[in-house]
Amino acid sequence: MMKDLCNYSLLAHNTFGIDAQCSRFLEYASEEEALQVAEILREQLKSNGQQPYIIIGGGSNLLLTQNYEGIVVHSACKGICRNGNRLVCGSGDLFDDVVAQSIRMGLYGAENLSLIPGDVGASAVQNIGAYGVEAKDLIRSIRAVEIATGHVCMIENTECEYGYRQSRFKKDWKNKYLILSVEYEFSESFVPHLDYGNIRSELEKSGVVNPTAQELRDTIIRIRESKLPDPKVLGNAGSFFMNPIVPRSKYNELAAQYESMPHYDIDADSVKIPAGWMIDQCGWKGKSLGRAGVHDKQALVLVNRGGATGEEIVALCKTIQKDVKAKFGIDIYPEVNVI
């Protein structure tokens, strides 16, 4: 049965551990319920003349700064169905469950995305990525309800305009669709992607030269667990900032000053510089500003050290942005959705 709750706490729906409320909470677990939710949202739009709602996933990419005086919509659609080398997955399924299941089924390509928190629906919105692989590499199509019309539609990958942590769902399609399921396409041949970060060195520590898909997944999980705090212990949203992509001329200028500066070539004209490295160079790793802090093992991660408000985390974010800009002349932006 569709959930329809008033004055609902979102504490269980954000990994930062912020206890904010919304005026109304709607959760759908089927196409029929999603159509009901869409109708409620259309009625609200008619009466208010605006869009008084937001759509959330697992809350692993969300920072709440205040109570939300509107409707929060969440998907509980679940179920993973195989069709050849594709998996159709409910938008409310955990994305990491999809990765685990694909490997068990002999379907490959998602190993480097292991242990990324969040739901399937969010993978299509955010274009999640890690260690050289992005969700867009796997997504074939998305089934969704268009809120304005109540039509159920299929959206192809090519329509989504995917980019680094971007899609049309975050821009002109924001709050336009209720995602029901995502279809991922895999390979039935395992071709490991090892030339990113410290994957090879971690495999070597285990004496593995030619990993199986499960061995690669296990390695990715170990790497992530060594860098990222458990949100049940220390509230966080994983990587808080996007890694900036800069012109090669800017990279060359900085490389002349910092010989050890890590980077990843995007194309002939563009280079990606890890935001975490720059934050670390500014001396923020392990430091705090009030009850908000920077993780001591990964400077890209902002944490709630206990009782921090969303405003405190935003204040820390802005201070870090200012310091990085002053030291490197580069703007860094949150990957996290701030509300």
SS3 (DSSP) at 80? strand
Active site residue 249: no
Phi, then psi, of 271 in degrees rounded to 5? -135, 140
For residue 219, what are the CA distances in angstroms to 125, 131, 190?
A: 26, 12, 16
Which of the residues 42, 165, 168, 200 is marked catalytic?
165
What the block records as the tokens of 214 is 């499960």
User: Measuring CA to CA, which residue among 22, 126, 35, 46 is closest to residue 77?
Assistant: 35
End-to-end alpha carbon distance in the chain:
28
Residue pair 16/63 in contact (Cβ under 8 Å)? The answer is yes
Active site residue 206: no
Can you say how many angstroms the Cα of residue 149 is from the centroid of all Cα atoms in its chain?
28
Residue pair 310/63 in contact (Cβ under 8 Å)? The answer is yes
Q: Where are the beta strands (DSSP E) in the chain?
A: 3-9, 21-28, 53-56, 62-63, 68-75, 80-83, 86-90, 129-130, 133-134, 139-146, 152-156, 177-185, 235-239, 245-247, 264-265, 270-272, 288-289, 292-294, 301-304, 337-338
Active site residue 239: yes
What is the spatial distance between Cα 274 and Cα 242, in angstroms, rounded to a whole number?
Answer: 8
Can you say how many angstroms the Cα of residue 61 is from the centroid of all Cα atoms in its chain?
5
Which of the residues 114, 141, 167, 239 is marked catalytic?
239
| Catalytic residue positions, numbered | 165, 239, 335
